[in-house]
Amino acid sequence: MEAFAGLLDEFRSGNIADRMVEKHTLETHLEELSGRWDEEFPGFPRAKYPYASIRGISRRGVRDEYLKKIIHKLLEAYNPDAGDRTIVNPICVFGRHARDLASHLDRFTVIATDIEPAFNWVYERILRHRNPDHYKFVQDDVYNPKLEAAPTAVVFFGACGSLSDAAMDYAIERKCPYLICRTCCHENIGGNTTITKRFNLLNWAFRLKNLIFTRRREKGKGDYFSQKYSTNRYPRSEAAKGLSNSDEFMEVSQNSVDSDICRTIIDLDRYLRLAEARYSVWYKGELFVARRND
């Protein structure tokens, strides 16, 4: 809570989008959370560049591999008294990470889901990647999930804006023992596609991406946006609602392409929501590990 309030004050003071200022600010406010993560999950991939940069974005794959090692470690040691041994990977796109998990965790069934089945089909049929045992794809909408499962873990590796929140809510509603994930595209929470213009390559690339997203939203495709996660649903946690409001959160999101402080504010709201839902939560650099306390 202190980290969230502190970073919110930094945003209000305009101390964002400067790499050196943000680096020092984040180290100061996130010292306790980062130390807690490092103690539990050593080996976090270090990066010279912030996540709000071309180099930072390009290293998402490195963090995904590190996250999969955490999934292996936690679930290999997991021995439920009863119930399914199932991992659900919503917003799987091609299903590459889900297949990898199925190849290494043979005690679990891995179910990959996505509203658009074409990507999984391309990966399987055109690119000719074998489906391992214990893997299956199910077409499903994370905003309105129909999948009948009681997963041991919900995992995802990047989910644009409110898709991350929908996947987290899926884990909460299923009372899932573990949620392990990486968030992304924080500017798209609440159906937002507006970005504060700054003159750099990353900002230009994300503005181009959001032109496409705007058209998809206007067509009501249902794959990136939902009224269930409209502007007035943010912030997500009760604790954050006591300190901020929807208008401010949309302003935070619009600056998040170029600001790790803004990305972290959005993620810490998610952290608080998970804590309110009876999860112990670890967070660092867009990565979450949450374990339900029953």
Domain boundaries, the chain: 2-43+61-292
With a cut of 90, say whether residue 14 has pLDDT above it. Answer: yes
Instruction: Please give the average per-residue pLDDT across 131-140, as a whole number.
Output: 93
Mean pLDDT of the chain: 93
Cβ contacts of 86 within 8 Å, gap of 6 or more:
108, 109, 110, 111, 149, 150, 151, 152
Given this model, what pLDDT does residue 269 score?
Answer: 98
Reported pTM: 0.95
Distances (CA, A) of 70 to 101, 211, 220: 11, 35, 36
Residue 223 confidence (pLDDT): 84
pLDDT digits (tens, 9 = 90+) for 227-255: 999 999 999 999 999 999 999 999 999 99
Q: What is the pLDDT of residue 68?
A: 98
Question: Which one of 3.30.67, 3.40.50, 3.30.479, 3.30.70 gives the CATH number of domain 2-43+61-292?
Answer: 3.40.50
Q: What is the pLDDT of residues 168-218, one digit of tens each?
A: 999 999 999 999 999 999 999 999 999 999 999 999 999 999 999 999 888
- Pick the residue with more confidence: 127 or 25? 25
pLDDT recorded at residue 81:
59
The pLDDT, as a whole number, for residue 84 is: 65
Mean pLDDT of 145-165: 95
pLDDT of residue 230: 95
Confidence of residue 34 (pLDDT cuts 50, 70, 90): very high
Lowest mean per-residue pLDDT among 86-100, 126-140, 173-187: 126-140
